[in-house]
Amino acid sequence: MFHKEGQKIVIFTFFLVVAAIFAAQYLVDVEWIRFTIQITALVVLIAILQFFRNPKRPVTPNFDEILAPVDGKVVVIEEVDEPEYFKERRRQVSIFMSPVNVHVTRYPASGTVTYSKYHPGKYLVAWHPKSSTENERTTVVLHTPKFGEIGYRQIAGAMARRIVNYAEEGEQVTQGEDAGFIKFGSRVDLLLPLNCNVTVKLNQKVTGAKTCIASVRKADD
């Protein structure tokens, strides 16, 4: 199953690859050149297909947990000053996506969208410290029953040129549902309350809508 944001690209690439394979077959006489063109075309098609894949991941919403919004690797866990919306200290957990990861963004929690804004910007590499505030990005805030307000940012990387964000202020959303897509993009930051219990570690690989990122801190913790 492929994400709807990639359907046009997948169809266009498919026909382009088919045309390249047939053109090479009938127009290129040198066998190794013909073979190289055809293999390269197939590799390009496979890369596009895997990038826009959208695996089904059923979720039973859990108000006590924040789930990973994307697939990738945890590259940052730290306290930060968040100036855009919260204007206070927040616990930031950042997930970096490589080109081979699923790039679907999913809602990390159920709740009400209280803020959703797009910011044009630069295309620094996603692991750059300033990418969170200077790159093209969207900021979304959800009001949740147990954690209060939590935020997440979709951040474009060096290759990204378009972020898709479905969150609209005032709507009710459900944990694990499709929240958007980063086309050839690279990173999502979670902005969580300081009193939550972060359950992942640096360099840990996480799976969107499956891995628990944070839980409600118990009274005796």
* Contact between residue 42 and residue 17 where contact means Cβ atoms under 8 Å apart: yes
Architecture of the structural domain at 65-215: Distorted Sandwich (2.70)
22, 26, 25, 21: which is closest to 43 by C-alpha? 21
The 10s digit of each residue's pLDDT in 156-200 is 866 555 789 999 999 999 999 999 998 765 889 999 999 999 999
Domain ranges of the chain: 4-51, 65-215
| Catalytic (active site) residue 186 | yes
Give pTM, 2 decimals.
0.84
Q: Report how far residue 153's alpha carbon sits from residue 162's, in angstroms, rounded to the nearest whole number.
A: 14
Structure tokens belonging to residue 166: 């479905």
Is the pLDDT score of 218 beyond 60? Answer: no
Cβ atoms of 71 and 188 closer than 8 Å: no
Both tokens of residue 194?
């300081």
- Considering the candidates 94, 110, 116, 186, report the single residue annotated as catalytic: 186
